[in-house]
């Protein structure tokens, strides 16, 4: 899958998130990168996406003063290696986007696992 097609899959996954949720997202950007850095991996074998920032549930008055945007990064290389077809890539991207947005809302990996999104 080309980079453009992968970025389109990420865009389409974002479009599937209900407006009631996207309207609540605050100061966050969604990016596509080829591979995670060693720091982002932090002991993980593979990483399809990562949320880096301060979840909405942990923000206070000090947070808003000049804070850089939170980052949701979706990684193309690991996703393509994991999936066997373009359809699988599109499905996995959608799951990963929802998973990382959930972290922006303060939802833990454990809870996402319980909900079937991990």
Number of folded domains in the chain?
Answer: 1
Which DSSP helix (H) or strand (E) runs through 33? strand 28-33
Specify the CATH number for the domain of residue 92.
Answer: 3.30.2010.20
- pLDDT for 79 equals 98
63 domain residue, yes or no: no
Which residues form the domain of 34? 3-58+68-115
Q: Is 90 exceeded by the pLDDT of residue 65?
A: no
SS3 21: helix
91 domain residue, yes or no: yes
pTM, entire model: 0.89
Residue carrying structure tokens 């060693």: 38
How large a percentage of the chain has pLDDT more than 90?
61
Q: Is 90 exceeded by the pLDDT of residue 14?
A: yes
**Mean pLDDT, the chain, as a whole number?**
90
36 domain residue, yes or no: yes
- pLDDT for 108 equals 86
**For residues 3 and 83, what is the distance between their CA atoms, to the nearest angstrom?**
15
Q: What separation, in Å, do the N-terminal and C-terminal C-alpha atoms of the chain show?
A: 23
SS3 6: helix
- pLDDT for 52 equals 94
20 domain residue, yes or no: yes
111 domain residue, yes or no: yes
19 domain residue, yes or no: yes
- Mean pLDDT calculated for residue range 57-74: 78
pLDDT tens readout for residues 21-54:
888 888 899 999 999 999 999 888 889 999 999 8
46 domain residue, yes or no: yes
Question: Using the 8-state DSSP alphabet, how is residue 32 labeled?
Answer: E
């Amino acid at each position: 899958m080309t980079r453009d097609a992968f970025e389109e899959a990420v865009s389409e996954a974002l479009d599937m998130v209900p407006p009631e949720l996207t309207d609540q997202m605050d100061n966050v950007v969604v990016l596509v990168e080829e591979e995670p850095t060693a720091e982002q991996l932090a002991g993980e074998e593979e990483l399809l996406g990562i949320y880096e920032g301060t979840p909405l549930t942990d923000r206070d008055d000090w947070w808003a003063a000049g804070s850089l945007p939170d980052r949701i990064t979706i990684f193309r290389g690991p996703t393509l290696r994991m999936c066997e077809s373009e359809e699988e890539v599109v499905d996995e991207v959608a799951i990963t986007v929802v998973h990382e947005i959930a972290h922006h809302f303060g939802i833990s990996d454990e809870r996402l696992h319980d909900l079937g999104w991990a």
